[in-house]
């Protein structure tokens, strides 16, 4: 049994402008010790799906489908149970550490509070655990730092403190939503190294990111979302070296690389659709260079692209309903970080 099982998840937001289907029929699993990257443009549904797992959607959000964590239904759990799991067996790291830390309490007090809430440690034992966690995430002189306030921490240190807080309940799953966004590149690299050190054989990580480089470096498997739906799912190397969906290929082509000989980046044309009135058929068809008439009528399932069934893509090319062939080319990154000239298929 997988640690996390998401089945046919639908997330709707009821807004003044109409009902927005932010996530539409999303299914995926995450095993213990696995690192899953969830990628896509803004509005793809990455964060809405993560918040649904955490039970943190705002009042306008409603979900359908099933989310199971270690066999327990989170969709059926009440608020108390969700609160116990969140911050306990599921740790979270969000994008903006300054917003996530309370400015009127010391960093140590906030981590100790998480320890008290999610473990049986209390008093001095919780404070000692807070200092140990700061030490574990690489904060120098952790005992002194524990007594400082968030404004005394740099952005990178504040993000490390959030990771320490996420570890307070000894989680089995860490959900990190854009944890490196807004950090400068050297701090980003340090944070990824820290997550890499922490991701043990037991700790599963769901990394939500728009940054393909971060996902390529850290994850084992990747799920690509477009307009609330999964459009591709594959082991990380397969996805980056042999993308099977035109949207993934377009995303990869739009990434600048060291040694890039292209005069200009090839950006994906168009924008993500309005999810209160998504296009019929394949939601990517208004932007897809391979779209045919059938693409405007049929919503393709996430189908196997080869005999193993491990690499899946939601495109009619893999259901036998497309008359033409996908012949896109993607520059892949060689071991020196340069583009190697491309891989056509």
Contact letters for ligand SF4, residues 261-300 (x by CB under 6 A): ---------------------x-xx--x-xx---x----x
Q: Which is nearer to ligand SF4, 205 or 282 (CB)?
A: 282
C-alpha dist (Å) from residue 331 to 12, 258, 261, 328, 343: 37, 12, 10, 10, 6
- Rounded to a whole number of angstroms, the minimum distance from the CB of residue 204 to ligand SF4 is 30
Q: Which is nearer to ligand SF4, 171 or 300 (CB)?
A: 300
Binding-site residue total for ligand SF4 (CB under 6 A)? Answer: 13
* C-beta separation of 45 from 225 below 8 A: yes
Q: Which residues contact 201 (CB under 8 A, 6 or more apart)?
A: 32, 33
SS (H, E, C) 174-220: EEEECCCCCCCHHHHHHHHHHHHHHCCCCCEEEEECCCHHHHHHHCC
- Rounded to a whole number of angstroms, the minimum distance from the CB of residue 16 to ligand SF4 is 31
302 binds ligand SF4 (CB under 6 A): no
101 binds ligand SF4 (CB under 6 A): no
- Rounded to a whole number of angstroms, the minimum distance from the CB of residue 145 to ligand SF4 is 50
Residues in the chain: 345
Q: Which of residues 196-255 bind ligand SF4 (CB under 6 A)?
A: 246
316 binds ligand SF4 (CB under 6 A): yes
- Rounded to a whole number of angstroms, the minimum distance from the CB of residue 243 to ligand SF4 is 11
Q: Which is nearer to ligand SF4, 44 or 90 (CB)?
A: 44
Residue 154 DSSP symbol: -
- Rounded to a whole number of angstroms, the minimum distance from the CB of residue 233 to ligand SF4 is 15
CA dihedral 286, 287, 289, 293 (to 10 degrees): -20
Element housing 15 (H / E) = strand 4-15
Q: Which of 215, 322, 330, 339 binds ligand SF4 (CB under 6 A)?
A: 322
Binding segment (CB under 6 A) for ligand SF4, from list 68-76, 211-219, 253-261, 312-320: 312-320
Q: Which is nearer to ligand SF4, 95 or 229 (CB)?
A: 229
Q: Which is nearer to ligand SF4, 192 or 249 (CB)?
A: 249
CA distance 158 to 153: 6
Q: Which is nearer to ligand SF4, 261 or 327 (CB)?
A: 327
* C-beta separation of 179 from 126 below 8 A: no
Residue 308 DSSP symbol: T
Q: Which is nearer to ligand SF4, 73 or 269 (CB)?
A: 269
Q: Which is nearer to ligand SF4, 69 or 290 (CB)?
A: 290
- The total of other beta-carbon atoms located within 10 Å of residue 291's CB is 18
Binding segment (CB under 6 A) for ligand SF4, from list 105-113, 146-154, 267-275, 315-323: 315-323
* C-beta separation of 60 from 13 below 8 A: yes
- Rounded to a whole number of angstroms, the minimum distance from the CB of residue 273 to ligand SF4 is 12
Nearest to 134 by CA among 104, 102, 112: 112
CA distance 345 to 321: 18
Binding site for ligand SF4 (CB under 6 A): 246, 282, 284-285, 288, 290-291, 295, 300, 315-317, 322
């Amino acid at each position: 049994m997988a640690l996390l099982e998401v089945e046919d998840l639908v997330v709707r937001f009821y807004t003044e402008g109409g009902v927005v289907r932010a996530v539409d029929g999303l299914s995926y699993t995450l095993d213990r010790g696995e690192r899953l990257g969830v990628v896509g443009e803004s509005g793809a549904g990455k964060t809405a799906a993560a918040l649904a797992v955490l039970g943190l959607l705002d009042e306008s959000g409603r979900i359908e489908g099933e989310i199971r964590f270690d066999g327990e239904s989170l969709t059926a759990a009440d608020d108390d149970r969700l609160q116990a799991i969140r911050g306990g067996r599921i740790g979270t790291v969000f994008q903006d550490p300054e917003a996530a830390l309370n400015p009127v309490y010391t960093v140590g007090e906030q981590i100790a509070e998480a320890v008290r809430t999610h473990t049986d440690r209390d008093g001095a034992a919780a404070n000692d655990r807070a200092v140990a966690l700061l030490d574990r995430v690489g904060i120098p002189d952790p005992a002194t730092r524990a007594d400082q306030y968030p404004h005394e921490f740099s952005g990178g240190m504040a993000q490390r403190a959030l990771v320490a807080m996420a570890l307070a309940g000894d989680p089995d799953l860490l959900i990190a939503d854009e944890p490196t966004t807004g950090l400068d590149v050297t701090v980003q690299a340090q944070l990824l190294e820290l997550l890499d050190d922490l991701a043990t054989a037991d700790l599963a990580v769901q990394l939500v990111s728009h940054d393909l480089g971060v996902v390529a470096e850290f994850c084992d498997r990747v799920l690509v979302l477009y307009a609330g739906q999964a459009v591709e799912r594959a082991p990380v190397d397969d996805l980056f070296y042999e993308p099977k969906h035109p949207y993934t290929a377009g995303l990869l082509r739009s990434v600048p690389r060291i040694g890039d000989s292209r005069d200009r980046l090839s950006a994906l044309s168009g924008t993500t659709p309005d999810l209160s009135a998504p296009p019929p058929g394949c939601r990517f068809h208004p932007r897809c260079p391979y779209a045919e008439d059938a693409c405007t009528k049929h919503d393709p399932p996430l189908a196997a692209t080869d005999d193993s069934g491990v690499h899946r893509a939601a495109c009619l090319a893999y259901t036998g309903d497309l008359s033409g062939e996908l012949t896109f080319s993607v520059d892949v990154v060689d071991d020196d970080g340069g583009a190697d000239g491309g891989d056509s298929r």
